[in-house]
Chain A
Amino acid sequence: MKKIILSTLAGLALSSTAMADFPNKDIQGIIQWGAGGSTDTVMRSVSPHAEEILGTDIILTNRTGGVGAIATKYVNAKKADGYTLLMGAENPQMYKVLGLADIDYSDMIPVNVLARGIPMLVAQNDAPFNTMQEMIDYIKANPGSVKVGSTGQGGLASIVMAMIESEVKLDVTTIPYNGDGPALTALQGGAIDVMPAVLGAAVQHIKAGRMKAIALVDNQPSPVLPEVGIITEALPGLDKYLPYGPFFGVFVKQGTPDEAVAKLTDAFTKAAQAEDFQTLMNNRGYGIMNLSGQPAVDFLENYRSVSSWLVHDAGFSKRSPEEFGIPRP
Chain B
Amino acid sequence: MEALNYFALSWLSPELLALTALGTFLGIYVGAIPGLSVTMAVSILISFTFSWDVNHALCLMVGIFMGGVYGGSRTAILLNIPGAPSAIATALDGYPLAKKGLAGEAIGLSTVMSVIGGFVGIFVLAIAAPTISEFAITFQPRDYLLLAILGLTLVGSLSSGSLAKGLFAGAMGVLVGTVGLDPLTAEERFTFGIIELWDGINVIAAMIGLFGVSEALHQLHHLDKAIIKQKISRIIPPWADVRRFLPLSIQSSFIGVIIGALPGTGGDIAALMAYDQAKRSTKKPEVPFGQGAKEGLIAPEAANNAAVGGAYIPMLTLGIPGDAVTAVFIGALFIHGLNPGPLLLIEQPHMFWFTVGNLTLANIFVLIFGLTGIRIFSKLVECPKGVLIPLILLLSVVGAYAINNSVVDVWWMLAFGVLGYFMRLYNYPIGPVILGVILSKLIDENWRRAILSERGDMGQFFANLFSSPLSSVLLAAIVFALFTQTPLWTRWLKPKLFSKV
Contacts and interface: CB of A to CB of B under 8 A. Distances in A.
Interface of A: 35-38, 40-41, 44-45, 47-48, 60-67, 69-70, 73, 98, 101, 144, 147, 152-154, 173-178, 181-182, 185-186, 188-192, 203-205, 207-208, 210, 276, 279-280, 283-284
B452 A174 contact: yes
Contacts of B445: 178
B334 A204 contact: no
A36, A41, A60, A204 — which one has the most chain B CB atoms within 10 A of its CB? Answer: A36
Interface of B: 39-40, 42-44, 46-47, 50-51, 137-141, 181, 183-186, 195-196, 198-199, 263-264, 318-321, 324, 327-328, 330-331, 334-335, 337, 339-344, 346, 404-406, 445, 449, 452-453, 455
Given A35-B39, A35-B40, A153-B186, A210 B334 contact: no
A204 B199 CA distance: 31
B264 A173 contact: no
24 contacts: A35-B40, A35-B328, A36-B42, A41-B335, A45-B335, A47-B47, A60-B47, A61-B405, A65-B196, A65-B198, A65-B199, A65-B404, A69-B195, A98-B186, A154-B186, A178-B183, A185-B320, A186-B141, A190-B140, A204-B319, A207-B341, A279-B337, A280-B334, A283-B334
Contacts of B51: 48
A189 B319 contact: no
Contacts of A284: 334
B331 A36 contact: yes
Contacts of A60: 47
B186 A204 contact: no
B449 A191 contact: yes
Given A36-B324, A44-B47, A152-B184, A280 B318 contact: no
A70 B50 CA distance: 27
A41 B50 CA distance: 11
A35 B449 contact: no
Contacts of B453: 147, 173, 175, 191-192
A78 to B, nearest CB: 14
Contacts of B342: 204-205, 208, 210
Contacts of B198: 65-67, 69-70
A162 to B, nearest CB: 15
Contacts of B330: 36
A41 B137 contact: no
A188 B342 CA distance: 12
A326 to B, nearest CB: 20
B133 to A, nearest CB: 10
A62, A147, A204, A205 — which one has the most chain B CB atoms within 10 A of its CB? Answer: A204
Contacts of A204: 319, 339-344
Contact of A64 (B199, B337, B339): B199
Nearest to A152: B186
Contacts of B195: 65-66, 69-70, 73, 101
Contacts of A147: 453
Contact of A70 (B196, B324, B340, B343): B196
B50 A44 contact: yes
Contact of A41 (B46, B184, B196, B320): B46
Given A175-B453, A189-B140, 17 more contacts: A35-B40, A35-B328, A36-B39, A36-B328, A36-B331, A44-B43, A45-B50, A69-B195, A144-B455, A152-B184, A177-B449, A178-B183, A182-B264, A185-B137, A189-B137, A204-B340, A207-B343
